[in-house]
């Protein structure tokens, strides 16, 4: 959510920035609602003041024994109260409308974010070299099937299409990766470990920015009015909802492991077979609550932490900066890590690291008190995958495959599971 006051003070400036993301955005209706609202507030407050003074007078009259005068006063106040109630109802309606409008607006892109749509993303750097094969590299689905570590047909029997089932060494590798990443961030990068609930209420998703716009992406339990976690970002941001933190405690860094569930409504495609786009995957998520002064520096640090995972596994990847048109609703700037999948000859996102600035903080009223006192300010929130395992799993198979379909595990992983190769 954007700051209404700053929209009011510089509507042209805000609109210009928003249009870098979406040229169809218009602030005029919102500004009109705001004008109406403020006019109404003035009337309502005048009436409230009148009622308050009148009521105090009634009390005085009654105490002084002027019962009759008090009754007359009460009669007029009764009318005033009725009028006030009607106006208050209108005001509540207006404020709700205004709030809904405000919720629809995405975050302002940071100045360093390039213009344009999906295709305009900027390559920042890459790490390592794509492995060379003197044979046709296979798809991880094929490798996983042959190695007996991935079983989609049986998963479909249990649940349906696009749900993964890891079995044998596949299950052990998956679990080992999750645990190792989690420990890495806790022990070497100083994150506070969290295992949150996997179901959360609508308010939580409103704060994170998933709702109201992206309800179709979420699995929902109507009996309980709860949504299934699509990314731990949504959960972690709510950890400090409605709190005033101390600047001394910032940045607060959390790492969570959660399964993630996404309906992926309307996504199909041969190229997204296997583990690339599934309804359920595992993710280790990194999250910062920090100050506006240091949030962009923290974003770089966060990206570095995610990169360490890929580096330790010796996987070739690249780092890209998303353009305005490809930003998530809540993000002001997003840096993606994309791992190379030779079986498909392309890169896939394994981490998306964003600075949401005060967008989520404003929705969730997450503030901090500046050092040495003063008014509370909104924190900046950052999130990033560190990492999502299903695609990581796929990359490990595809980048380390051998002509016969066996896979040489990276040394680190080999040690974790006690096997050097899958065959």
Site of interaction with RNA (CB under 7 A): 4-5, 38, 41-42, 44-45, 48-49, 51-52, 54-56, 58-59, 62, 74, 77-78, 81, 92, 244, 367, 372-373, 375-376
Q: Which of 277, 362, 363, 367 is catalytic?
A: 277
- Cβ-Cβ contacts under 8 Å for 389 (sequence gap 6 or more): 174, 177, 178, 181, 281, 282, 283, 284
Nearer to RNA, 60 or 346 (CB): 60
CB of 41 to RNA, least distance (A): 5
Cβ 374 to RNA shortest distance, Å: 8
Nearer to RNA, 78 or 346 (CB): 78
β 192-194/252-261 pair status: parallel
Please name which of 250, 248, 276 lies closest in space to residue 262, comparing C-alpha atoms.
276
Residue that is written with structure tokens 């009390």 in the block = 59
Min dist CB 238 to RNA, Å, is 13
Smallest distance from the beta carbon of 301 to RNA, in angstroms?
Answer: 28
**Among residues 73, 162, 262, 367, which one is catalytic?**
262
Smallest distance from RNA to CB 382, Å: 22
C-beta closer to RNA: residue 108 or 422: 108
User: Is 241 designated active site?
Assistant: no
d(CA 401, CA 110): 40
Give the nearest distance from C-beta 185 to RNA in angstroms.
27
Q: Residue 49 or residue 179: which is nearer to RNA going by CB?
A: 49
Q: How far apart (Å, rounded) are the C-alpha atoms in residues 13 and 58?
A: 51
Determine which one of 204, 295, 352, 390 is catalytic. 352
Query: In this complex, which beta carbon is closest to RNA, that of residue 55 or of residue 406?
Result: 55
115 Cβ contact partners less than 8 Å away, ≥ 6 residues apart:
20, 323, 324, 325
User: With respect to RNA, which residue has the nearer C-beta, 38 or 346?
Assistant: 38
Chain centroid to CA 114: how far? 21
Active site residue 391: yes
349 part of the active site: yes
Rounded CA separation 87/136 (Å) = 73
Which residues belong to the active site?
262, 277, 349, 352, 391
């Amino acid at each position: 959510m954007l700051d209404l006051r700053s929209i009011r003070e510089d509507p042209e400036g805000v609109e210009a920035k928003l249009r870098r993301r979406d040229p169809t955005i218009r602030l005029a209706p919102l500004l009109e609602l705001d004008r109406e609202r403020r006019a109404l507030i003035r009337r309502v407050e005048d009436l409230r003041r009148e009622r308050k003074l009148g009521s105090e007078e009634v009390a005085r009259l009654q105490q002084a024994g002027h019962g009759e005068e008090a009754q007359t006063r009460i009669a007029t106040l009764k009318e005033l109260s009725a009028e006030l109630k009607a106006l208050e109802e209108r005001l509540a309606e207006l404020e709700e409308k205004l709030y809904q409008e405000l919720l629809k607006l995405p975050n302002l892109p940071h100045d360093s974010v390039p213009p344009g749509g999906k295709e305009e993303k900027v390559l920042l750097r890459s790490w390592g070299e794509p492995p060379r094969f003197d044979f046709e590299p296979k798809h991880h689905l094929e490798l996983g099937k042959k190695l007996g570590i991935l079983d989609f047909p049986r998963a479909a029997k249990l649940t349906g299409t696009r749900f993964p089932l890891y079995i044998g060494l596949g299950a052990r590798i998956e679990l080992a990766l999750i645990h190792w990443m989690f420990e890495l961030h806790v022990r070497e990068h100083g994150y506070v470990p969290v295992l949150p609930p996997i179901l959360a209420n609508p308010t939580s998703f409103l704060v994170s920015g998933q709702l109201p716009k992206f309800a179709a992406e979420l699995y929902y339990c109507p009996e309980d009015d709860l949504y299934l976690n699509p990314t731990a970002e949504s959960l972690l941001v709510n950890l400090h909802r409605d709190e005033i933190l101390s600047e001394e405690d910032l940045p607060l860094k959390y790492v969570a492991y959660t399964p993630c569930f996404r309906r992926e409504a309307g996504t199909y495609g041969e190229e997204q077979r296997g583990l690339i786009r599934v309804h359920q995957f595992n993710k280790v998520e990194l999250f910062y609550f920090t100050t506006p002064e240091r949030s962009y520096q923290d974003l770089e640090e966060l990206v570095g932490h995610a990169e360490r995972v890929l580096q330790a596994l010796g996987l070739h990847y690249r780092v890209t900066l998303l353009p305005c048109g490809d930003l998530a609703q809540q993000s002001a700037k997003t840096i993606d890590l994309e791992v190379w999948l030779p079986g498909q000859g392309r890169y896939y996102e394994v981490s998306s690291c964003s600075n949401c600035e005060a967008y989520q903080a404003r929705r969730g009223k997450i503030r901090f008190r500046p050092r040495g006192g003063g008014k509370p300010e909104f924190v900046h929130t950052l999130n990033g995958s560190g990492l999502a395992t299903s695609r990581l799993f796929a990359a490990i198979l595809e980048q380390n495959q051998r002509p016969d379909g066996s896979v040489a595990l990276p040394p680190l992983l080999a040690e974790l599971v006690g096997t050097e190769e899958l065959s």
